[in-house]
Amino acid sequence: MLPILKAVSMARSRDSEPEEDSNLSGKLLDVALVSIAGVGTFLLVRKVVRDIKKKARQKKALNPGNPASDAIQLKMAFENDLWFGWGTNEDLVFQILEDIPDSRHMRKVQQAYRDLYKIDLVADMQAELDSEEFAKALNIINSKPLRLGLNGRIHF
């Protein structure tokens, strides 16, 4: 009877090693699944927050003089020109940039553009305009006063 007990204990010891391996691989699988779920949740929440910000910007864009309105007008000027709806309307781009009152408002327009279109305004201008037009646009942007006061005077 002793050899039979010895064989059973040996069989159990052999079975316990794979059980430990499967338990370890099960734990690793659980950790991987939880990590994937955490990253997925983070990405989903980030997308929802970005969509909410974008919708809020779009609602505010209906008000003239709002930075989001200027950003949308600039994007439309980049995308539409002439009868065919392709190309850039450079004159409109320059007009919109000139209508922006000060550098603080310009920074807000750049932020709104980034929020709405996920690309930097200056990078988009560089892609859409040739080098002379791009230099002219940068001149317009850089010539903005720091800020206009309530009385219309320039404050530095």
Q: What is residue 129's DSSP assignment? A: S
Domain tally for the chain? 2
Task: Please identify, among 40, 60, 80, the residue that sits at the C-terminal boundary of a domain.
Answer: 60
Residue 138 scores a pLDDT above 50: yes
Residues 92 and 114 grouped into a single domain: yes
The whole-chain average pLDDT of the chain stands at 80
If one counts every other C-beta atom within 10 angstroms of the C-beta of residue 70, the result is: 24
Mean pLDDT of 64-77: 87
Q: Is 154 helix (H, G, I), strand (E, B) or coil?
A: strand
Name the residue type at position 108. K
Residue 108 scores a pLDDT above 90: yes
31 pLDDT band, cuts 50/70/90, is confident
pLDDT value for 88: 84
Element (H, E) at 99: helix 90-99
126 pLDDT band, cuts 50/70/90, is very high
Residues 93 and 143 grouped into a single domain: yes
Indicate the range of 29-38, 58-67, 69-78 predicted with least confidence: 58-67
If one counts every other C-beta atom within 10 angstroms of the C-beta of residue 116, the result is: 17
Mean pLDDT of 25-40: 87
Residue 9 scores a pLDDT above 70: no
- The CA distance from 36 to 40, in Å, is 6
Residues 56 and 28 grouped into a single domain: yes
Residues 33 and 72 grouped into a single domain: no
Enclosing domain of residue 74? 64-155
Mean pLDDT of 113-134: 92
pLDDT value for 87: 76
For residue 124, give the CATH number of its domain.
1.10.220.10
Considering only residues 156 and 92, tell me which one the structure prediction assigns the higher pLDDT: 92
pLDDT value for 30: 86
Task: Please identify, among 22, 39, 60, the residue that sits at the C-terminal boundary of a domain.
Answer: 60
